[in-house]
Amino acid sequence: MPKTSAYATFSADTPLVPHSIERRAPGAKDVAIDILYCGVCHSDIHQSRNEWGHSVFPMVPGHEIVGRVREVGSSVETLEVGDRVGVGNLVDSCRTCEACLGDFEPFCMKGAAFTYNSSEMDRKTPTFGGYSKRIVVPEHFALKLPKELDLPGTAPLLCAGVATYAPLRRYNCTSGSRVAVIGLGGLGHLAVKFAAAMGAEVAVLTSSPSKVESAKALGARRCLPMAGEATFAENLGAFDLILDTVSAPHDYNAYLSLVRPGGTMVVLGVPPEPSPVAAFSLVFGNKQLAGSLVGGLALTREMLHFCARHGIAAEVEVIPIQEINEAYERVLDGQVNYRYVIDMNSLE
């Protein structure tokens, strides 16, 4: 089996270090991809430090992958050597269950094969992610990228992008929709770009006054402070849809008061502890509190083409792989201009 250079962590309390992993040779319906860039998702940090409690080591993180097809299997029909492709947070699923057939492959009834910290569908072979030089995936899970897309800015679209695009589509964001985005980080800044491109009137709720001008540059019409009673008193029932991207503890009930009757608040961030929700926050106004993870492959393709038409990319800082441990700490300290992306050419 071919050896591939990578960066891996061997326990929850050790840094990422150079490592060599084995990638399988491409089968008839597989493609081998040279990885050019890989986004740094906050979930990479959660999983490499076992903060969600199911980490398997050694681990090679990374599920926001863009690269170029290096080799195709004998039965591959839709991709050619040299094509630019993206791989998101899963690399296989059963493809026959109700979820897979309904464009919900991440929720495959037999359990999807996630890009890292998971296993292939044989439930024996571990999966290793995009902090590596190459990856082999089934043709079905390699998404051909529109030629208009910039590669570094595209990498985060494979996770953060579809994670924010999916609920906007699901809850019918359109011209004139009143949308609020809570938090202006890696997820939030893309939510603002997408909602504005869909024609919505976008407001950002942020705890950082320094982000006001940035939010407006991204497409927000208003910025509201997350702290302070005036924000909530003056905006009761003001929004058709709220996307909550914050992973720190906060009061869902307060933000539900900003949802119009019949409107929806969608949880994208994952606070470490359960967040109490009062029944009256929902029933008084027939409101919905929903969760959203990511979209399936068809929606991801739709999102990529939407980005190509509207000139949307993530705001990124490109780093060499050798800076990944420092980058993790800067993410935790909020010292990143929305999203880090690793230039995998820096990996020998």
pLDDT by 10s per residue, the chain, length 348? 579 999 999 999 999 999 999 999 999 999 999 999 999 999 999 999 999 899 999 999 999 999 999 999 999 999 999 999 999 999 999 999 999 999 999 999 999 999 999 999 999 999 999 999 999 999 999 999 999 999 999 999 999 999 999 999 999 999 999 999 999 999 999 999 999 999 999 999 988 888 889 999 999 999 998 877 889 999 999 999 999 999 889 999 999 999 999 999 999 998 888 899 999 999 999 999 999 999 999 999 999 999 999 999 999 999 999 999 999 999 999 899 899 999 999 997
Contact 38, 131 (CB under 8 A): yes
Tokens of 172: 């019918």
Q: Which residue has the tokens 């950082």?
A: 208
Task: For residues 250 and 170, give the distance between their C-alpha atoms in angstroms, rounded to a whole number.
Answer: 24
Nearest to residue 203, comparing CAs of 187, 181, 218? 181
Q: Which residues pair with 273 in a beta bridge?
A: none
Question: Structural domains in the chain?
Answer: 3-159+295-307+314-346 (3.90.180.10), 162-291 (3.40.50.720)
> Which residues lie closer than 8 Å to 280 by C-beta, 6 or more apart?
none
Contact 266, 242 (CB under 8 A): yes
